[in-house]
Chain A
């Protein structure tokens, strides 16, 4: 990749440690990712695969039980893990913003829209109330809220769900961040509003040149929105690379299973495949590859040791022994799913 990374995670791990330290849940384990300026990275995986923990790790807003035992998070060349709490506060909302899973509940019911949209501008840029509110009005206009001036002095309960969603988007871009993390921002919306919102996010991204990390379990959204894709399973990134490359030739059996579980309008002949078994307990992982117990192509090496990240075609990387040049492919049969 020739472009300089805006955000680069190097071997990042995030663990939840129980009160007495006896149970350790490895929610994120040894994750390395990069996002270039203006690019969109999609992160997909089942619930509990560590997507949201990864997002909150980047902003360092984890619950008290969480620890980041290892790794580096380079953002514009600075390691976010080395920053003090006060320095981190100046990053949040200003250089990295995030939209939460349920934007409907993200607005404080007791304060006006104007107050809540203008708040980060006042805190980060020391703007006066009047100028911050003028900016807030422009932001509402940018996210297509009709009669923005009147909306500023209204409260969240006076708005529809789709409008509140766009207001949360406006708060996200209010300080012109370089990176916006969207954690399943459309799951609570119906399909037409979902499509409108995704288009709006794309437009904002183009207009402001911001990088987007899109966390979702909807591969259709990934295909529409993202340039790069990272697939998470049990806290690890099992496969990453350009979206087109992965959709064309998924290298990891889990990715293949995910892709074949999307219903397609075009060919009705193929049956949908479900993935057998349950995701593993993150506090008691099997010794080898975490996906091995559910993997139709697993062989001895998979249960013995964890596969390393192996470079593939077109900057893609995969964590699977099948991709290793001499890992006893013969024993795995033809590796077909």
Chain B
């Protein structure tokens, strides 16, 4: 077991190392940030001075080595644009991302779980077919398009909801919907298949043989069992939601880490882009590591393979 965990942890570090190298090189392909940071009409000497200040005059490998050295000490560097430590920026935006992800998760479960149950209970009939159309739309409509349609309808046309910004519960509604839309469909599909499997089990048959009303069979005996895999997936999806909200946060000008990443890319703010991508990657790597370990605890066969 200890050997298995050591190996998993080693793989995790390897993934993060490769991610740091890739993102480090990729941002530098986008161009020279100093041209965006100096005032219009600045002299070549000014530009050179700024390049030197950010350490961009050194060779790539020297830059990478110093980046990794700082990382080991927990230092993500200074933002070129804001001139503040990147980690501070990141942590100040994280609560907004978390709020948005939680709201989107609540929405996706509220829609996905009941519709998945309905589809399973009425399998092959109208509600099941309607659910199939819904999940197809959910999985295939891009979130920026959903966001724009929402703004057009609720902000421009009906004038019910603010089109961008944050601060009130009303600001949260549309971004949460746009972000949760895809996940609602994913949760619906898993709920449906999980429920169908449970409904075919012997303990459901016995519950019916006991003479229980069908509502009790579904709500008590089937529901709880069907929900277990859905909640596992939802836990993973929450971490993913925090990190994939770039498009939605940009469309709705929501001040989370997704928008921070977008700004970082726009201004060629290398330290910001590197930090957001690496921290997001770290979150996902850690969740996967935890799941791998939990599976090994549950299933002895996995332990033996390692």
Contacts and interface: CB of A to CB of B under 8 A. Distances in A.
A119 B210 contact: yes
B100 to A, nearest CB: 33
Instruction: Give chain A's interface residue range (CB within 8 Å of chain B).
Output: 20 to 34
A105 interface: yes
A231 interface: no
B119 to A, nearest CB: 15
Given A108-B221, A108-B225, A110-B225, A124 B202 contact: no
Contacts of B153: none
A123 B210 contact: yes
A61 interface: yes
A89 B224 CA distance: 23
Interface in A85-125: 89-94, 97-98, 100, 102, 105-111, 119-120, 123-124
B212 A106 contact: no
Contacts of A168: 206
Contacts of B207: 108, 119
B211 A92 contact: yes
Contacts of B212: 89, 93, 119-120, 123
A184 to B, nearest CB: 13
Nearest to B216: A123
Nearest to A89: B211
Interface residues of B, number: 17
B295 interface: no
B203 A93 contact: no
Contacts of A80: none
A107 to B, nearest CB: 6
Contact of B211 (A100, A102, A111, A124): A124
B201 interface: yes
B213 interface: yes
A110 B206 contact: no
A59 interface: yes
26 contacts: A61-B209, A89-B211, A89-B212, A92-B210, A93-B210, A93-B212, A94-B211, A100-B205, A102-B202, A106-B202, A106-B206, A108-B221, A108-B225, A111-B221, A119-B207, A119-B210, A119-B212, A120-B210, A120-B211, A120-B212, A123-B210, A123-B212, A123-B213, A123-B216, A124-B211, A171-B210
